[in-house]
């Protein structure tokens, strides 16, 4: 998908996650993030593991580093390093902070999985052409280096050298392959520079890739993203404020309505942007 609808949807949800403190709203953002990540193409396991593990770690650590709250669950000793007195408010606040971290992680993974990398690079090249070119060349160089390394290893095996087995012999073989691999990378860089110079890069005004216009699905996603951004502005103005200490507040009716709206918008955006049937 185009960068604009993906950025509006994910960016609005990230702003809501960082600005909101109401647990109902944070849970809604996490649910929307899970739906968006589920609709992405490719592997999703890494982002799920990182998001859930870091979120659970924050939720578990918070009661032992904070010393607030009135409803004491475990009345342990308090030291200068760790607080063994656990309150219900500390547990709830830790769960909310972990939910926020997990939601932002999953939204980042969903954005990376849904956005068109080429169209994103084309947009970024208009603002920072040289930096974007460096990143693009580096991203394309890594697969080329992997192919060169595979070819070198196969050629080494055909010549009778051992690339597995004894550690000392294997280390010597791989050490001997580093030099030709680096030489191939330098030659490839020189070839890229010559090709860019032949195409007139540098002395003239840079040209921009002619992008295709947004289609109907992308315009629908843009509309959903604008509504999510409006909800984010409402949250920034204090619409989803929540008090945790000394006793936790009850979620307001406005926060519950906003959470339902976020889940609905996230579901619609997942169906519109997603590539999984």
7-35 confidence digits (pLDDT tens): 999 999 999 999 998 999 999 999 999 99
- State the DSSP H helix or E strand holding residue 84, giving kind and residue range, or none if neither: strand 83-87
Pairwise pLDDT comparison (203 vs 65), residue with the higher score = 65
How would you classify residue 164: left for phi > 0, otherwise alpha for psi between -120 and 50, otherwise beta? Answer: beta
> To the nearest 10°, the Cα dihedral for 60, 61, 64, 66?
-110
Q: pLDDT category, 277, cuts 50, 70, 90?
A: very low
Q: Assess if residue 264 is contained within a domain.
A: yes
49 and 88: one domain?
yes
Lowest mean pLDDT among 80-84, 181-185, 220-224, 237-241: 80-84
Residue with token string 């904070």: 66
Q: Assess if residue 50 is contained within a domain.
A: yes
58 and 178: one domain?
no
Query: What separation in angstroms does the CA of 193 have from each of 44, 180, 205, 225?
Result: 36, 20, 17, 40
Pairwise pLDDT comparison (92 vs 139), residue with the higher score = 92
Rounded mean pLDDT, 131-156: 75
43 and 109: one domain?
yes
- Give yes or no for residue 209 having a pLDDT over 80: no
Query: What separation in angstroms does the CA of 250 have from each of 7, 68, 92, 244, 256?
Result: 32, 18, 12, 10, 11
What is residue 248's predicted lDDT score, i.e. its pLDDT?
Answer: 78
Q: Which of 165, 198, 231 is the last residue of a domain?
A: 198
112 and 232: one domain?
yes
Q: pLDDT category, 268, cuts 50, 70, 90?
A: very high
What is residue 186's predicted lDDT score, i.e. its pLDDT?
Answer: 83
Range of the domain at 52: 3-118+216-273
Residue 201 in 3-state DSSP? coil
14 and 81: one domain?
yes
247 and 143: one domain?
no
Most distant pair of Cα atoms in the chain: their distance: 74
43 and 169: one domain?
no
Q: Which of 153, 172, 198 is the last residue of a domain?
A: 198
| Number of domains composing the chain | 2
Taking the C-alpha atoms of residue 86 and residue 66, their distance in angstroms, rounded to an integer, is 9
113 and 133: one domain?
no
Q: Assess if residue 167 is contained within a domain.
A: yes
Q: Specify which of 140-149, 170-179, 199-208 reaches the highest per-range mean pLDDT.
A: 140-149
Q: Check if the beta carbon of residue 272 is closer than 8 Å to that of residue 39.
A: no
Q: Assess if residue 206 is contained within a domain.
A: no
Q: Assess if residue 205 is contained within a domain.
A: no
Q: Which of 168, 198, 228 is the last residue of a domain?
A: 198
29 and 152: one domain?
no
What is residue 207's predicted lDDT score, i.e. its pLDDT?
Answer: 64
36 and 139: one domain?
no
What is residue 84's predicted lDDT score, i.e. its pLDDT?
Answer: 72
Q: What is the pTM of this model?
A: 0.72
161 and 107: one domain?
no
18 and 45: one domain?
yes
């Amino acid at each position: 998908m185009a960068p604009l609808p993906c950025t509006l949807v994910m960016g609005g949800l990230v702003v809501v996650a960082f600005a909101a403190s109401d647990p109902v709203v944070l849970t809604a953002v996490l649910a929307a993030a899970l739906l968006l990540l589920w609709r992405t193409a490719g592997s999703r396991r890494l982002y799920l593991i990182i998001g859930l593990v870091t979120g659970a770690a924050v939720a578990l650590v918070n009661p032992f580093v904070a010393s607030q709250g009135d409803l004491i669950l475990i009345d342990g000793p308090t030291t200068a390093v760790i607080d063994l007195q656990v309150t219900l408010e500390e547990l709830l606040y830790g769960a909310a902070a972990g939910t926020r971290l997990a939601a932002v992680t999953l939204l980042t993974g969903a954005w990376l999985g849904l956005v068109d990398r080429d169209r994103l690079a084309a947009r970024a090249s208009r603002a920072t052409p040289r930096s974007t070119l460096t990143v693009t060349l580096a991203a394309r160089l890594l697969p080329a280096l992997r192919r060169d390394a595979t070819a070198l290893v196969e050629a080494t095996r055909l010549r009778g050298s051992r690339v597995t087995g004894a550690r000392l012999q294997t280390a010597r073989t791989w050490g001997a392959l580093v030099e030709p691999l680096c030489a191939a990378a330098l030659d490839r860089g020189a070839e890229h520079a010559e090709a860019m110079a032949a195409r007139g890069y540098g002395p003239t005004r840079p040209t921009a890739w002619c992008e295709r216009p947004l289609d109907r699905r992308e315009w629908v996603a843009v509309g959903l993203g604008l509504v999510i951004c409006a909800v984010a502005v409402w949250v920034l103005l204090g619409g989803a404020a929540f008090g945790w200490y000394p006793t936790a507040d009850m979620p307001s009716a406005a926060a519950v309505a906003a959470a339902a709206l976020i889940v609905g918008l996230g579901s619609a955006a997942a169906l519109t942007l997603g590539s999984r049937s």
